[in-house]
Structure formats: structure tokens, C-alpha cells
Structure 1
């Protein structure tokens, strides 16, 4: 049976940890050659090696992808190594601080703009000439907060609102070039961002985001990667400019809906991927 991304070449930004690690490993299992891209402190080399050990094809790339010249180098590496580029996944992002706007640091705001907005802009700009050749596609990381907003992190939700509108705009302008552009909008996912021990959320916020889903739990990185896989594949050939929520029903939940979820819904699926870096997400502006 043909794999769903057989013969495809993909770049995944933020590929070293959290959802990005799951996307890289899912794509590789489905036949893609993957450039695992991230910041120098991200475990992108580890993820690439783990894919290779499973029999997949992956290479690492490290650098500040918010800089256009670095983004262009990443695309050049993909084309030099594999001869083309079919898929760009704009997954890179950060969640550096939770605070009321009156207390939100300018440093954290600038970090959000750099990693959540400028990286997507630079990578999309660098990749489009190659994606136009292959009639490829872009899948970008939005968020339920990009539609609803998010208390104590209004700037984060604002950056995701930008990604939603930016990607829809790309879809509108790139259809004439045969390039599809879509958004995956996760809710609370079981990564370092949503645990008080590894991210900026406090205990109350950690509890609220889980109870705010209809399913009463965090999603898994693999559950999100499954949706990226569909949108990146030829199965989504008639899908462009779309936002796919992967949020356990957060967008339609009313009150602490998770308290009423059945026990079967509250149980995370086991999944197939071995994810070693799901809690390694770099969220802090402090190095």
C-alpha cells in the first residue's frame, strides 16, 4: 500500500520537540523525506537520528528561521539534499509568558513576534518559489486562541490570529500557482507548554484549559500530527484556506465541559510514535 507522503519532501519548523517532533516522525513514517528545522538549542539532530534509526529519511537544520537569509538556507538545503520541496510546515512558535497585558513584558512580546510571526513569514517567502514548481502546500500552526483570544496571554492569541489571516491570504494569492495553504489550530496539547512544571501556565490555568475541552483532557502531539498529515497529503487536494481545529471541542465548549466527559473520552490514545521530546518545548525568552 502506498504511503501517504511517499516521494514528498517536507520542511518542518520547530521540528525538534512537542508537536513538531510528532509531525516529523509521522511524515517520515508515511514516506516523506524530512528537514527537521529549529533553533540551535532544539534537539533537531536527535529527532533526525531517531527517524533514521526507524528507517526513515531526515536531516537536521539549525538556525534562526526568522531571518530571511537563514530561511532561504534551509530551503536550499532541502533542495540540495532531495532535489525539490513539496511541503512546508510552519510549526515553530513560542509561549513565553502568561500575564495580564498590564504586566506582560515587552521582551516576551518581541519574542512572540519574532518566533510566531516573522518565522512563518520568512519561511513561506523562502519556500514559495520551490512549492510553486512542485504544486506543493503550506500547513501553518494556528490555535484555538487565534479564534477566541486567550486571557493572560492576549499577545499570543494575537500572533495566532495573524497566522490564520496570513495563511488564508496566501491561499487566495497562491491558488493561481497551484499551491495550497491551510491551518491546523490546536487547543491544549500534552506538551511542555501546558504543564506548570515545564511552561508558563500556573496550576489554575493548567486545570482550566483541560476542563474547557468537551473531551476533558489534553490532546496528544500525535493526534495533531495526524491532521497535519492529511492536509499535507494529496488526500486534501480540494482543501485550501481552511482552519482545522484540533482542540477537543474547545471552540464550542461552555463552562467546565470537561467535567462531564465520559471516561473513555478522557483517556488519551496510546499512539504509535515514540516521542522523546514532547516536553522539551522552548518557551522562555531567557536563554
Structure 2
């Protein structure tokens, strides 16, 4: 499976569901050897197995990578199995609740700090010594909410704003070691998070989210994975400290512009990846793992 990531080794956190699954399968198709990382409850081994069945190379790792020992073990597994580490994708994150701030659960806020912020810090810190050797790169999951905020979940936007600033700071300090650092910032994507049946959004939030998107639809996990693949590749060798918005135009929109899009143009592209867990991403607070 030759491609623009041939001979590269990548860790993808949150790799079992949603955008993470698409990133893993896209990277494998582009020739990368992939470590699919997630919680024990996540279908990480299923994703790794599906990649292997398609002729790619992948193994799974389960653990809470917001904890330093687990982050180190994940990196060590990649190096032990494949001899190196070229790419770290900090995709893991949670979206556990929506409400006005005065009613927002403290537990949900702490859960996001752990899984949206601490996981990015711990994995980046653990991976950098190996990335220095390969002159690799880190790409973290930002969000349009990290730039413009998101009503009824202001803490979520705050955690993503941290990732934006964190990766831009890393880009400046790690350039001397040949390491690039960037952010991919999705808008409303067709995952469990953006459906009222599977996530914390209600019907009004779901509708207004699509109305505020100039393209008039959700993006697909594969559309986001395509941008990750470019940034991870040598094609993006002069790109560092960038925030790449894959948001259907949300960050430049004003008002319900999505209503103006013709029905035929609102259809999501079919894509080429066979993703099976796009709507399986958890949105509830889970018990802590060691």
C-alpha cells in the first residue's frame, strides 16, 4: 500500500471512532503503519483488524493517554513494533454536555480538561524525543469552536483554544529539531457528537448548526482525514504552526446561510473509506481508566 505516507509510523489517539477511525484508515491507505489508540471500550482492535484485512499495517493500543505512564507506553509500543515514530495525531477528545455556563456540570468540565487538554500535552511530550530522530510532525485536533467559541458549550471551545495556542507554540520551539506542529480544526462533522440521538445537542442546536454552515451540511470524517493526511505528509514540508479549518465555512459565516444552499448540493460526498464507527464515538462521561 504505497502512498504519500509510505514508510511512516503514526499514532492516532481516539482512533477507534468518528474522525479518528477515518484518519487511521486514510493513513493506512497512504502507506503508514498505524497505532490505533483509544479507551478499552473503543473498537480500536476492530479498526486495526479492518486495516490489516485491506492489506495495511496496524496494531491497537488501549489506555488513558492523559496519564503519563500510558502515554509513554503508547509511544514505546510504536517504536518497539515498527522501529520509529514519524507522526503523532492528537485526535482524542470528548464532548460530554451542553448547557449555559451557569448550569454546566463541573464534572463535564474536568472530564474535558483531562481528555481534550491533558491527553494532548502528555502524548506530545512523550512523542517528541522520537520525533526529533525522524524529523516528524504532530497534528492536534482543534475546532472552529476554538476560534469563535460555541454557545452552550463554552468550556469545549476553551479546551480547543488551548490546543490551537499549544500547537502554535510547539511549532516555534520544535522547528529547531525539524519537527512540524499543526492543528486541524473541524466544524460540524457527521459523527455521534452532532446528532441529537447520539450526542448532547438538542434538535434546535442541531438545526442551527447546519443553518450556520455555508455549505449547508455536515462534513464527513473522511473529508477531515484528507486534510490530516496532507499535513502529515512531506507535501506539507513548509507548513507549521497552521490552523487548518475544515468547517464548511462556519468561521466566516453570518446568519443562517446554509438555508440558501440547493438541496442537491447539501449531499455528503460518498468518499472511498469504509468507516464503520462514525457514529459510535462516546459522548457520556466514562469511568476513569488506569
TM-score range normalised by the length of the shorter chain: over 0.9
Spell out, residue by residue over 1:146-176, the C-alpha distance to the aligned partner (whole angstroms, 9 max, x if none).
0000100000000000000000000010000
Partner residue in 2 for 1:21 = 21
Counterpart secondary structure, 1:184: strand
Partner residue in 1 for 2:233 = 233
Counterpart secondary structure, 1:284: coil
Say whether residues 1:205 and 2:205 are aligned partners.
yes
- CA distance in structure 2 between the aligned counterparts of 1:88 and 1:270, rounded to whole angstroms: 27
Partner residue in 1 for 2:58 = 58
Counterpart secondary structure, 2:274: coil
**Equivalent residues, number:** 287
Partner residue in 1 for 2:131 = 131
- CA distance in structure 1 between the aligned counterparts of 2:265 and 2:143, rounded to whole angstroms: 21
Say whether residues 1:194 and 2:191 are aligned partners.
no
1:267: Cα distance to partner? 1.2
- CA distance in structure 2 between the aligned counterparts of 1:265 and 1:2, rounded to whole angstroms: 33
**Greater mean alpha carbon deviation, residues 37-46 or residues 254-263:** 254-263
Partner residue in 2 for 1:184 = 184
Change in CA separation of 1:217 and 1:62 when aligned onto 2, cut-off 3 Å = same
Change in CA separation of 1:279 and 1:126 when aligned onto 2, cut-off 3 Å = same
Partner residue in 2 for 1:164 = 164
Counterpart secondary structure, 2:123: helix
Counterpart secondary structure, 1:245: strand
Counterpart secondary structure, 2:193: helix
Counterpart secondary structure, 2:258: helix
TM-score by length of 2: 0.98
Change in CA separation of 1:234 and 1:164 when aligned onto 2, cut-off 3 Å = same
Say whether residues 1:41 and 2:41 are aligned partners.
yes
Change in CA separation of 1:137 and 1:286 when aligned onto 2, cut-off 3 Å = closer
- CA distance in structure 1 between the aligned counterparts of 2:251 and 2:149, rounded to whole angstroms: 11
Spell out, residue by residue over 1:189-224, the C-alpha distance to the aligned partner (whole angstroms, 9 max, x if none).
000000001000000001111111100000000000
Counterpart secondary structure, 1:275: coil
Say whether residues 1:90 and 2:90 are aligned partners.
yes
- CA distance in structure 1 between the aligned counterparts of 2:50 and 2:69, rounded to whole angstroms: 28
Partner residue in 2 for 1:276 = 276
Say whether residues 1:265 and 2:265 are aligned partners.
yes
1:264: Cα distance to partner? 4.0
1:69: Cα distance to partner? 0.8
- CA distance in structure 2 between the aligned counterparts of 1:282 and 1:269, rounded to whole angstroms: 24
- CA distance in structure 2 between the aligned counterparts of 1:261 and 1:236, rounded to whole angstroms: 32
Counterpart secondary structure, 1:60: strand
1:262: Cα distance to partner? 3.0
1:265: Cα distance to partner? 2.9
Spell out, residue by residue over 1:5-44, the C-alpha distance to the aligned partner (whole angstroms, 9 max, x if none).
0000000000000000000000000000000001111110
TM-score by length of 1: 0.99
Change in CA separation of 1:137 and 1:101 when aligned onto 2, cut-off 3 Å = same
CA RMSD of aligned residues (A): 0.9
- CA distance in structure 2 between the aligned counterparts of 1:22 and 1:265, rounded to whole angstroms: 23
Counterpart secondary structure, 1:181: strand
- CA distance in structure 1 between the aligned counterparts of 2:21 and 2:191, rounded to whole angstroms: 11
- CA distance in structure 1 between the aligned counterparts of 2:211 and 2:20, rounded to whole angstroms: 25
1:251: Cα distance to partner? 0.7
Spell out, residue by residue over 1:102-142, the C-alpha distance to the aligned partner (whole angstroms, 9 max, x if none).
11001100000000000000000000000010000001000
